[in-house]
Amino acid sequence: MTVLSLRGATKRFGGLVAVNNVDFDVQENQVVGLIGPNGSGKSTTLNLISGALKPTSGTISLHGSAISGLRPEKITRKGISRTFQLVRLLPSMSVEENVIAGAVFGHRRRWGHEAHAEAQRLLDRVGLGGKGQLQIGQLTYIDTKRIELARALASDPKLLLLDEWLAGLNPTELRTGIELIHSLRDEGRTIILVEHVMDAIRSLCDACVVMSSGSKIAEGTPAQVLSDPEVIRAYLGD
Ligand code: ADP
Ligand code: MG
């Protein structure tokens, strides 16, 4: 079943076409890699899907109904949520408070007692159980990424958008991170993964969409796209 469809999705910033007439579909419970050189339009594409940006033209549909142009909160309530390329945490607050600060904006709008229980559940889910009272400065890098993920999971998304969530992890952390993403798919979520780490793409993605200079240049399995001469050229030309 198709969860998400982009048709002619286009975003211009003045004279720059950051996303140029992009079409792709995402099937339920798949992990789709959105890859391409820096500046190719991947984060902007996620922004169009999450509603942070409105497309200049084109349509984005969730389960067949158009969501393009809806406000981000509305899109979150329909079941899409995301992590940001740069983790945005509040350094003066604890781990749990950071999750709650993110979680209350989710569609469940839990507060107080309930928010505490929900934060604990989310922290356990991402492997931060028992670390709720730590200050942000006491965390390792992967733990800050886990908080970012916990916040994205607070709205219980069907479709999760991960923007370079694995970037900067060391090899051990990377294995842990890949397992965590696998486990999110195992619980029925559909995932779009913007990623540069090729090992992660090979081990996680059912399908890949490759962008270069705003346009989709290839689509297929990881093995297909990573051996495509046009894709190799786009990366080497970066
Ligand atoms: P990627 O995530 O693939 O590295 P981005 O989607 O962030 O690429 O950016 C695609 C292009 O759009 C880049 O040239 C970038 O500078 C430009 N861009 C992104 N966001 C904005 C913005 N808010 N205003 C102007 N230009 C932007
Ligand atoms: Mg980006």
Residues 143-168 have a mean pLDDT of: 93
**CATH numbers and ranges of domains, the chain:** 2-79+157-236 (3.40.50.300), 89-154 (no CATH)
Q: How sure is the predictor about 85, in pLDDT bands with cuts at 50, 70 and 90?
A: confident
Q: Which of 10, 34, 42, 44 to mutate to test the pocket of ligand 1 (most atoms within 8 A of CB)?
A: 44
CA of 114 to the centre of ligand 2 (A): 34
| Cα 133 to the center of its chain, rounded Å | 26
Q: Which ranges constitute the DSSP H helices of the chain?
A: 42-50, 72-77, 95-103, 112-125, 141-153, 171-186, 198-204, 222-226, 229-236
Q: How sure is the predictor about 86, in pLDDT bands with cuts at 50, 70 and 90?
A: confident
pLDDT over threshold 80, residue 63:
yes
What contacts 233, CB < 8 A, 6 or more positions away?
A: none
Q: How sure is the predictor about 184, in pLDDT bands with cuts at 50, 70 and 90?
A: very high
User: Complex ipTM, two decimals?
Assistant: 0.99
The CA-based dihedral angle spanning residues 69, 73, 79, 85, taken in that order and rounded to the nearest 10 degrees = 90
pLDDT at 76: 92
Q: Is the pTM of this model over 0.80?
A: yes
pLDDT at 116: 84
- Residue 222's SS3 state is helix
pLDDT at 77: 92
Asked if residue 43 has its Cβ within 6 Å of ligand 1, the reply is yes
pLDDT at 105: 46
- pLDDT averaged over the chain? 92
CA of 125 to the centre of ligand 2 (A): 26
SS (H, E, C) 14-71: CCEEEEEEEEEEEECCCEEEEECCCCCCHHHHHHHHHCCCCCCEEEEEECCEECCCCC
Asked if residue 42 has its Cβ within 6 Å of ligand 1, the reply is yes
Q: Which of 10, 11, 16, 209 to mutate to test the pocket of ligand 1 (most atoms within 8 A of CB)?
A: 16
Give percent above pLDDT 90 in the chain: 79
CA terminus-to-terminus distance, the chain:
35
